[in-house]
Structure 1
Amino acid sequence: MEKARPRAFFVTGTDTEVGKTRVAASLLAAARNAGLSTAALKPVASGCDMHEAGLRNEDALLLAQYCTLPLSYEQINPVALRQAIAPHLAAASEGRTLQLDRLVGFARGVLMQRADVTVVEGAGGWRVPLNSREFLSGLPAALNMPVILVVGLKLGCINHAILTAEAILRDGLPLAGWVANHLSADMPAAHDNLATLLDVLPAPCLGELPWAPAESPDDCASQLDLGQLLATSV
């Protein structure tokens, strides 16, 4: 693949637990396999475990495995919270307050590394609160970052996907593409749901990941169209 200028993408989902990390890491794997340098950021992570080096989040650790640039854990996940609940609630339980401008600063620090492909993974869905006035969606908005939407294929996903796409566009951000991620082996009418999503979502589908919990990001990388993503994004 021809070397691309540095690109950065924000990965969001139709809900929590829809496969954002799976897709983010798989995109990084695809970029690395194409000979591109990679970096990642998960600005806020709830549900962290205490390790010898401090609080660590399994999603952020997975992203770290697919970064070719030498980033510290704290650069990849600057805000690590213990409880696996909404970030603003997890922060409040620790006597902390999340602030958008600080997260933007952390993100700019990673973006200054100028990796060919940088992936920033959100938390939960698009409109996740940081505090009483700010939302995590303000981070890609502040950085004018193209968004990749992960659609977890389950009952209700069409409505969730349409509403999320509308919110992203209403916030003035480009929807660079979306990925269909199967969340079970036996979703009713899965093919018909996917056909509807292909018809109604205003962005290209970058790939469809089957229900395969044991698959690694390296396995999934070939199922994502990185070339289309880099060719069509601004």
Structure 2
Amino acid sequence: MTDARPKALSIFVTGTDTGVGKTLVSTALLHALAKHHARVVGMKPVAAGTELINGVQANEDVLALRAAATCSVPPELDNPVLLPDPVSPHIAAARAGVQIDIGHLVACQRALTTLADAVVVEGAGGFLVPLSATETGADLAQALDLPVLLVVGLRLGCLNHALLTAEAIRARGLTLAGWVANHVDASMLAQEDNIAFLRQKLQAPLLATIPYQSTPDPRALTFNLPQTWQ
């Protein structure tokens, strides 16, 4: 008998750079989606950088995504590649003697869609972060073929970074489904002017605005979810 359950919603989260709040946004999105979907899970296909947590080498982003999920999945699916060194994935993989296989990452994501109703996939670094000498995070996003949520870290230079990333996303034939403005620099001048400019130029809906916080709570963030995500 054919499984009549609708295919799970799945979203790819990328950022204008590293350190712009992708994990915060991904976990907040999981909490928002959980109001509409019973089983939500996060995925970090490639995580670079571990530390000793409760006696085990772990990545804090992966743990945050798991904590925000409403169901448990095999760790080899929600984090297929875990690399020790906190450097670019292609360097971390080479140091660890690991070859990142995009086909395998896609297979893991597809498997998650059979176990959950909504899957949030958090990319590593920026959109074009190298995964190997020949492939980037953009190649992974293209292979996954998911709607993309762009996290814009509001700091000097973000307009250029946001427009270039949006252009790169669309050049891959992907849909920029929305973006999030994250105030990562409290001292940045003209923040609202920057948001107004991006509202006009990104040609995608602003789904959330995150105020600057020293210890942000992803449960407290408000998302304006597209109807198709509810």
> Normalized against structure 1, the TM-score is what?
0.90
Partner of 2:108: 106
Deviations 1:66-109 (A, max 9, x none): 11122133322121111110011011111222221122222222
Q: List aligned pairs for 1:151-166, cutoff 5 A.
A: 151-166=152-167
Q: Which amino acid letter does the alignment assign opposite residue 103 of structure 1? A: L
Deviates more, 1:103-112 or 1:120-129: 103-112
Q: Which amino acid letter does the alignment assign opposite residue 81 of structure 2? A: V
Deviations 1:45-70 (A, max 9, x none): 01112456743110110010111122
Partner of 1:196: 197
How far apart are the structure 2 equivalents of 1:17 and 1:112?
A: 31
CA contact (8 A) 1:12 1:123 kept: yes
Q: List aligned pairs for 1:79-94, cutoff 5 A.
A: 79-94=81-96
Partner of 2:33: 31
Deviates more, 1:195-204 or 1:30-39: 30-39
Q: List aligned pairs for 1:103-142, cutoff 5 A.
A: 103-113=105-115, 115-142=116-143
Structure 1: runs of 5 or more not aligned: none
Q: List aligned pairs for 1:41-80, cutoff 5 A.
A: 41-51=43-53, 54-80=56-82
Partner of 1:230: 229
CA contact (8 A) 2:7 2:113 kept: no
Q: List aligned pairs for 1:147-226, cutoff 5 A.
A: 147-220=148-221, 223-226=222-225
Displacement after TM superposition at 1:177 (Å): 0.3
How far apart are the structure 1 equivalents of 2:15 and 2:129?
A: 11
CA contact (8 A) 1:100 1:136 kept: no
Structure 2: runs of 5 or more not aligned: 1-5
CA contact (8 A) 1:31 1:37 kept: no
Q: Which amino acid letter does the alignment assign opposite residue 101 of structure 2? A: Q
How far apart are the structure 2 equivalents of 1:131 and 1:5?
A: 31
CA contact (8 A) 2:31 2:68 kept: yes
How far apart are the structure 2 equivalents of 1:103 and 1:54?
A: 23
Seen in structure 2, the aligned counterparts of structure 1 residues 219 and 175 have a Cα distance that, compared at 3 Å, is same
Deviates more, 1:95-104 or 1:194-203: 95-104
How far apart are the structure 1 equivalents of 2:27 and 2:175?
A: 21
CA contact (8 A) 1:44 1:122 kept: yes
How far apart are the structure 1 equivalents of 2:127 and 2:226?
A: 25
Displacement after TM superposition at 1:5 (Å): 6.1
Q: Which amino acid letter does the alignment assign opposite residue 28 of structure 1? A: L
1:84 is paired with a residue whose SS is: coil
CA contact (8 A) 1:36 1:116 kept: yes
CA contact (8 A) 1:176 1:229 kept: no
Q: Which amino acid letter does the alignment assign opposite residue 112 of structure 1? A: T
| Amino-acid identity (%) | 44
Q: Which amino acid letter does the alignment assign opposite residue 199 of structure 1? A: Q
Displacement after TM superposition at 1:26 (Å): 0.2
